[in-house]
Amino acid sequence: MCGILGLLLHDPTIDAAVEICEGLSLLQHRGQDACGIVTCGPKGRLYQCKANGMVRDVLDDKAVGRLIGGMGVGHVRYPTAGGSNHAEAQPFYVNSPYGIVLAHNGNLINSTTLLQYMDATAHRHINTSSDSELLLNTFADNLQQTGKFRINEEDIFTAVGGLMKQCKGAYACVAMLAGFGIIAFRDPNGIRPVGMASRRASTGKDWLFASESNVADAGGFSDWEDVKPGEAIIITRSGVSRRIVTEPATFAPDIFEYVYFARPDSVLDGVSVYRSRMAMGDALAEEVPDTSRVAALNLAQKLELPYREGFIKNRYIGRTFIMPGQQMRKKSVRKKLNAMALEFADKNVLLVDDSIVRGTTSKEIIQMAKDVGAKKVIVASCAPPIRYSNVYGIDMPSPSELVAHGRTTEEIAKAIGADLVIFQKLPDLIASVRQFNPTIETFDCSVFTGEYVTGGVDEGYLAYIESLRNDHAKNGTVPTGVKAVKVKDANDLNGFSGPVANGADDTVGLHNSWNIS
């Protein structure tokens, strides 16, 4: 999952970068791997700073001070395609046509086809294994085809419409055209979130696009509105233009945003994440003979059991599930959470978490609770068992890494060392979220069901991404031996070797040197 942000200030003499940076730090929970900002200053010049690392490290005062201009785009990255190298940090830039910058949240499932098209037809050079670079070039190619010396809103709608025909998968995007304005668009299924808000500024308005509404709240923006599925919104200093640019498709936001990804103080697609998590706790209570903190509190109240914070969290260790390798995740859970012996000694405890994915967290914390004297440890998960790959922007490519894959509930309990595991039922999870916005037709629940809302995800594709992105491939630790994966049907690409796995990806890349003095 990534965080995206666009800001256009009414007064172009005020630099937007400081606020973009603050906004990105509010989206840090969506991506910890890399971050970046590109701004547009006088004469349409673009200024960029992006690198691996957290917002506070990459975007320090000095770096932000060099980013000139009253509009810009920002990104925090959690890789789901390509590798984790600097070159794949976002936003991406392409000079032709017009100078375009793009920040993407989501994941494309037809990268191979797009790559072939870029090479054989559009003749555009793709320098990384990132699907987001392909997305940007698809946008650029569609804009190029309008053939205009100067672009207008109509051309942009046409280009985004063309992109939506070509790109399959999940994409919530914020783009910027040099000297023109900022643009947001969202895939036809609306799988990933992005919204818009505005704020009065002297004689006009400042405009914000962001993955989550918490950014708008903190910046004093109001009138938060979600970008609709299949919609493109263009903001220039002359105003706002918006249009649904594609055929309607099933609106299916990813339910895992509510379970885990989004901050509880955000409202996504009209649903308060906080209230949906409280409802998850209520529903889960029905199953007993958080993230999860909100749910745990409600669950405890309903069961009339005392609610305690049995683990103290080190707020300086980031999210563990979105860390790249299993060793790191495991070590970080121990560093992040410490069991309060007082709360556990000689007690039977019910631990509530928002989800059990690889089982890293639950396995560690059950052991920690037992180490400080817990008698019985029962674990309740606000999400149902996760048994299938995610292909839309959550890095869960490999079912065999999921603790629930191929296991019954009893076997999962055994694998994580729990006395009992209780899972939320899928209809209850869906109802917990949907009750707050019944206009959402359905959700992408593919990690629970193996049913993919976009189509185009068959066994061959799932095997392909698994070979590319399982933990061994990412860390270059074999045993799968995946070093570089040949693009399917790549005969006409002059031997071009397609996306390579993380650990094997030693691309130097065309990236900026961010820490120049």
Ligand X SMILES: O=P(O)(O)OC[C@H]1O[C@H](OP(=O)(O)OP(=O)(O)O)[C@H](O)[C@@H]1O
Ligand Y SMILES: NC(=O)CC[C@H](N)C(=O)O
415 in Cβ contact with 328 (< 8 Å): no
- End-to-end alpha-carbon separation of the chain, Å? 32
- Residue 319 contact partner, candidates ligand X, ligand Y, none, CB within 5 to 8 A by sort of partner: ligand X
80 is a site residue for ligand Y (CB under 6 A): yes
- Residue 361 contact partner, candidates ligand Y, ligand X, none, CB within 5 to 8 A by sort of partner: ligand X
2 is a site residue for ligand Y (CB under 6 A): yes
Long-range contacts formed by 328-335: CB under 8 A, 24+ apart? 329/358, 329/360, 330/360, 330/364, 333/360, 333/361, 333/364, 333/365, 334/364, 334/368
138 in Cβ contact with 167 (< 8 Å): yes
Residue ranges for the known binding site for Mg(2+) are 291, 353-354
- Which of 32, 48, 320, 507 binds ligand X (CB under 6 A)? It is 320
Site string for ligand Y, 256-275 (x = CB under 6 A): --------------------
- Residue 11: helix, strand or coil by DSSP? coil
Residue 2 bears catalytic tag: yes
395 in Cβ contact with 502 (< 8 Å): no
- Restricted to residues 283-312, the positions that interact with ligand X (CB under 6 A) are 291
Residue 53 exposed, middle or buried by CB count within 10 Å (0-12, 13-18, 19+): middle
Q: Which one of the spans 207-215, 240-248, 315-323, 482-490 is the region binding ligand X (CB under 6 A)?
A: 315-323
105 is a site residue for ligand Y (CB under 6 A): yes
Q: What is the dihedral of CA 446, 273, 184, 394, to 10 degrees?
A: -30
- Residue 132 contact partner, candidates ligand Y, ligand X, none, CB within 5 to 8 A by sort of partner: ligand Y
Give the separation between CA 288 and CA 286, rounded to whole angstroms: 6
353 is a site residue for ligand X (CB under 6 A): yes
CB of 405 to ligand Y, least distance (A): 21
Nearest one of 166, 218, 173 to 191, comparing CA atoms? 173
354 is a site residue for ligand X (CB under 6 A): yes
DSSP state of 450: -
- Restricted to residues 129-148, the positions that interact with ligand Y (CB under 6 A) are 130-132
Q: Which one of the spans 67-75, 116-124, 138-146, 356-364 is the region binding ligand X (CB under 6 A)?
A: 356-364
Both tokens of 54, joined, read 């957290």
By beta-carbon proximity to ligand Y, the closer residue of 243 and 329 is 329
Cα R_g (the chain), whole angstroms: 23
- Residue 356 contact partner, candidates ligand Y, ligand X, none, CB within 5 to 8 A by sort of partner: ligand X
Cα-flanking dihedrals φ and ψ of residue 94, to 5°? Answer: -135, 140
CB of 223 to ligand Y, least distance (A): 26
- Residue 424 contact partner, candidates ligand X, ligand Y, none, CB within 5 to 8 A by sort of partner: none
385 is a site residue for ligand X (CB under 6 A): no
Closest residue by beta carbon to ligand Y? 2
Kindly give the pairing relationship between strand 46-52 and strand 34-40: antiparallel
271 Cβ contact list (under 8 Å, min separation 6): 258, 433, 434, 436, 437, 440
Only one residue has tokens 């999940």, namely 170
Only one residue has tokens 């121990």, namely 334
Give the separation between CA 107 and CA 334, rounded to whole angstroms: 30
Q: Which one of the spans 13-21, 104-112, 157-165, 337-345 is the region binding ligand Y (CB under 6 A)?
A: 104-112
- Restricted to residues 204-223, the positions that interact with ligand X (CB under 6 A) are none
Q: What residue type is assigned to position 296 of the chain?
A: A
By beta-carbon proximity to ligand X, the closer residue of 415 and 493 is 415
By beta-carbon proximity to ligand X, the closer residue of 95 and 409 is 409
184 is a site residue for ligand Y (CB under 6 A): no
- Residue 128 contact partner, candidates ligand X, ligand Y, none, CB within 5 to 8 A by sort of partner: none
321 is a site residue for ligand X (CB under 6 A): yes
CB of 63 to ligand X, least distance (A): 27
319 is a site residue for ligand Y (CB under 6 A): no
84 is a site residue for ligand Y (CB under 6 A): no
Site string for ligand X, 82-121 (x = CB under 6 A): ----------------------------------------
Cα-flanking dihedrals φ and ψ of residue 252, to 5°? Answer: -145, 75
263 is a site residue for ligand X (CB under 6 A): no
Distances (CA, A) of 387 to 330, 361, 364: 20, 17, 20
360 is a site residue for ligand X (CB under 6 A): yes
CB of 361 to ligand X, least distance (A): 3
- Residue 178 contact partner, candidates ligand Y, ligand X, none, CB within 5 to 8 A by sort of partner: none
359 is a site residue for ligand X (CB under 6 A): yes
- Which of 19, 51, 59, 77 binds ligand Y (CB under 6 A)? It is 77
492 in Cβ contact with 501 (< 8 Å): no
- Residue 81 contact partner, candidates ligand X, ligand Y, none, CB within 5 to 8 A by sort of partner: ligand Y
Give the separation between CA 244 and CA 101, rounded to whole angstroms: 22
Give me the residues that bind ligand X (CB under 6 A), please. Answer: 260, 291, 319-322, 353-362
Active-site residue list: 2
